[in-house]
Structure 1
Amino acid sequence: NYLVLSFSIRGLLILGLHTFTFLLTISFPSVSARLPYHKLTHQEITTTTEDTKNIIIQNKNRNKMSATKKVNVLMVGTGEYTTGYVGGTAADSDKGAGVVALTMFDLRRRGKVDRVGMCGVNGKKFPGIRKHMQRCIGDVYDDMDLTCETFPSDTTVDPNAYVAASSTFSKGDIAVIFTPDDTHFDIALECIKRGMHVMVTKPIVQTLEHHDILAKAAKENNVLVGVEVHKRLDPFYADARDRARSTLGNFQYMYAYMSQPKHQLDTFKAWAGKSSDISYYLNSHHIDFSEWTLAGIARPVRVTATSSTGVAHSKDIPAEDSITLTVQWENLSDKSLGCAVYTSSWVAPKSDVHSQQRFFYMGSKGEINVDQAHRGCTVSVDDSPFASVNPLFMKYTPTNGKFAGQNGYGVRSFENFIDACALINEGKSKTSDYDDGSIATVHTTMQGTAILEAGRRSLDMDGRPMDILYKGEKGEEPIGIRPHEF
């Protein structure tokens, strides 16, 4: 009886230890940030026991590392996602307090970030931005220092202010770029050449040529360059990705939809239809999910685009209302084909969510359906409409007076990148360590850029299909795009 009891107690202790470890991993982003995704080929999806042991050992080794030095951060871009300030007031969206600036101030409070800078084009906006951040951040959360150097001066308008701003930062510092799509390349390249690590909002650039230049510059300057695609950290999407890779077989079909309300046309009227489109802005999310999920399993080979028009044109905005990209994927194991349909729109009516977003994925052995907009939490208060909220992304409501959104995947996306840069600066990891899928690096996101560029070129040629070219039958890195020959 004593022997049986001792084994039972031991079993309970082991179970408790595993449960604690699991909860620790999902609760603390600084731990999960350093657990690499093992980039499997199609043949490696079923790992052996020895392979699994090796992965666990690698994870344990990386878990032991933590950075001790703070990093400096330059935020480039002063719009909705950075500050929540649009048109002289808080954005009419689910990001009225912004995401980037709030996250950086909190990371400074927690000892991970030191100097914080913010760069825009129109310095005359900064007095209003400061008042807005004080009202939406400083007056809401305790112990939140909003000190921030701003570029250019409050009386200056300078489209190239990022050059002077980045010159005041040093090698190993970080640039976080949230600006119109057509400006990403020049700003990112300037910061990379200064030896700064760079995180760029999706899409990182608009052409495969520019993507290749940034990738080479990142390697030459030994800096980490990543794309801010926070859906990789959404637990629903992350689980769907792992299920697709491990149990659903070859890729067969995917349908993805993402929309935002009509007033976003006014928010983005400075560039909408002029230098970018709704596909670059929203389709990029689910295209990245596909590239991340199908790495080593399938590759995109052909893109055909169609669109709808009317609403934006009625506002004198030269943009498509909705864009659909139909993408042919080729499974690497047997050359079988799969099809993905990505649709994005910014003419949706106001509803219970700011952004409708969902997808259906089917493999040869199963399927999965994800509604990212509705998490089972609805809120209704006086003077505000009924809303489906998503605190998994950003938790703006304070806890005991303090910001408590650290576990939101909107925050973790930045914190993981900053943790990685700090480790690289201290020589505790290498930039190449993060090409494993744990961060969407410039070296592992070329297929997404190829799809988006091919889609734009297809639209500009009245829907003509575009072929994505590779080097070799098993190549996964696109080398070009050309019109399909019938």
Structure 2
Amino acid sequence: MIDVLIVGIGEYVTGLSGEGVAKSDKSFGVIALSLFDMRERGLVGEIHLAGRDAKRFDLIWEHFDKNLKSAYPFLDTSFHAYPEEGYSDEAYKEALNQMQEGSCVMIFTPDDTHFQIAKDALEAGMHVLVAKPLVKTTTEHLELQRLAKEKGLLLMLEVHKRFDPIYADAVDQIRTFGDFSLMHSYMSQPKTQLDTFASWAGISSDISYYLNAHHIDLLCWAVQDFAKPVSVVATASTGVADKKLEREVEDTITLTVQWENLQSGALGTSVHTASWIAPPSDVHSQQRFFYMGHTGEVNIDQAHRGYGISTDRVGYKSANPLFMKYTPRNGKFAGQQGYGYQSIETFVRSSDELSKEPTKLAAYNKTLPTIENTLNVTKILEAGRKSLDEGKVIFL
């Protein structure tokens, strides 16, 4: 059993966006709900949530009592809140001081804050999970990599798509297709998300960091043993987000990455597009990719699993319970097999096991999406931003 601190209390953690329940597919949140269930299962001890504004917790408690309790009447949704009063950008430090070394810290905050919070957590002796993108620059990545290694701590990127059984099988298939030739990936969110992300969109990060990170990580994971990225060029579309937010914000960003196969020297290309101006549809987020190797190809539409549901309340929707299953079973949460849940559980279990067997860290750095094996993801995302800003190809 291990204690956990969650830094960040937004939509992905609590299911709340702005002043009310999120209108996305995560109205119950992912992180807090998963940890409440893990506590019932004896995997997690105390749960701490750190935000910036103490007043925000009144809305969170109300949401949990009203909505989570209506679905899961017996679920314990209690937690320790930081700051206890007032406003503080560093309330998470209060929580760190209350926790034992070797506990878990999970970071779900705006992209530009990841580095400092992760550094503080590592220096406090905590295992750390960070939402994608892990950090925004290669320099930050290498600094955290050095610190995690020095401390013997697990620092893992939260990229739940690796735990999707269909995506994971695709990666296994891809590794049998010989040299890498081509990949196209696309991921979008509706333009209503620009309201959710209004405080940072186009200021401290962009949609490529936020969404392209998923499929870039998947490709880096799939080809890590036989291909490497060599250059990146980025292009963007504009016209919607800048009007909505009244500042310069890209609507859609496309990264074109040149790859080199290590043994043959043959070249490959990947094209990754992310957008946050999609119209409402049957899914919250379109997400798909096509991969072609020298001897085979894969085509996956992750948003559509052949499972449609229509109700008077929300109309027709394409359902994906493989990610998070919110529908209760006999009054209890029943989503333990969802890949969103499994991503969190894997980090919790791995952190707990490291307290007993520190030598397992080397194995985790080979098999899990850790700071040790995700450097190319950071390099590509950073190069994409530089390419947009400087208007040129960036060589890695």
Give TM-score, length-normalised by structure 1: 0.80
SS at match of 2:49: strand
Q: 1:99 aligns with which of 8, 30, 42?
A: 30
Q: Which of residues 128, 131, 153 is equivalent to 1:198?
A: 128
Indicate yes or no: 2:242 matched with 1:335. Answer: no
Structure 1 counterpart of 2:181, from 228, 252, 268? 252
Task: Give the number of aligned pairs.
Answer: 395
* CA–CA separation in structure 1 for the residues paired with 2:386 and 2:209: 12
**Residue identity in the other structure for 1:400:** N
Task: Quote the residue 1:292 is aligned against.
Answer: 221
Per-residue deviation, residues 87-112 of structure 1 (Å, max 9, x unmatched): 12110100000000000000000000
Distance 1:421 1:199 in 2: 10
Give the Cα–Cα distance (whole angstroms) in 1 for the partners of residues 355 and 247 of structure 2. 45
Quote the residue 2:340 is aligned against: 410
Partners of 1:428 and 1:78 lie apart in 2 by 31
CA distance in 1, matches of 2:169, 2:134: 25
Q: What is the SS of the residue equivalent to 1:450? A: helix
- Asked whether the equivalents of residues 264 and 346 of structure 1 are also in contact (C-alpha less than 8 Å), the reply is yes
Q: What is the alpha-carbon distance in structure 1 between the residues aligned to residue 172 and residue 372 of structure 2?
A: 21
Find the aligned partners of 1:225 and 1:217 in 2 and give their Cα distance.
Answer: 10
Residue among 72, 77, 80 paired with 1:141: 72
Check conservation: 1:423, 1:429, Cα contact below 8 A: no
After superposition, where does 1:52-131 map in structure 2 within 5 Å? 70-131=1-62
1:271 and 2:200 are equivalent in the alignment: yes
SS at match of 1:386: strand
Q: How much is the aligned-residue C-alpha RMSD, in angstroms?
A: 0.9
Q: 1:373 aligns to what?
A: 303
Q: In structure 2, how many angstroms separate the alpha carbons of the residues matched to 1:132 and 1:339?
A: 45
Q: What residue number does 1:465 align with?
A: 393
Cα deviation, residue 139, structure 1: 2.4
Q: What per-residue deviation string (whole Å, max 9, x for no partner) do you get for residues 268-321 of structure 1?
A: 000000000000000000000011001111010100000000101111143100
CA distance in 1, matches of 2:279, 2:42: 42
Structure 1 distance, partners of 2:166, 2:240, is 33
**What residue in structure 1 maps to residue 286 of structure 2?**
356
Unmatched runs of 5 consecutive residues or more in structure 1 = 1-69, 469-486
Which whole-Å CA distance do the structure 1 matches of 2:53 and 2:260 have between them? 46
Match of 1:448 in 2: 377
Residue 205 of structure 1 aligns to a residue whose secondary structure is coil
Query: What SS does structure 1 have at the residue aligned with 2:379?
Result: helix
How far is 1:428 from its partner?
6.7
Asked if 2 retains the 8 angstrom alpha-carbon contact of 1:269 and 1:317, the reply is no
TM-score, L = length of structure 2: 0.98
Counterpart in the other structure of 1:208: 138
CA distance in 2 between partners of 1:275 and 1:371 (Å): 30
Does the 8 Å CA contact 2:152/2:358 hold for their aligned counterparts? no
Structure 2 residue matching 1:330: 3-state secondary structure: strand
1:283 paired residue number: 212
Displacement over 6 Å in runs of 4+: none
In the alignment, the residues of structure 1 paired with residue 241 and residue 109 of structure 2 have an alpha-carbon distance, to the nearest angstrom, of: 21
Aligned-residue offset at 1:162: 1.5
Q: What 5-or-longer segments of structure 2 have no aligned partner?
A: none
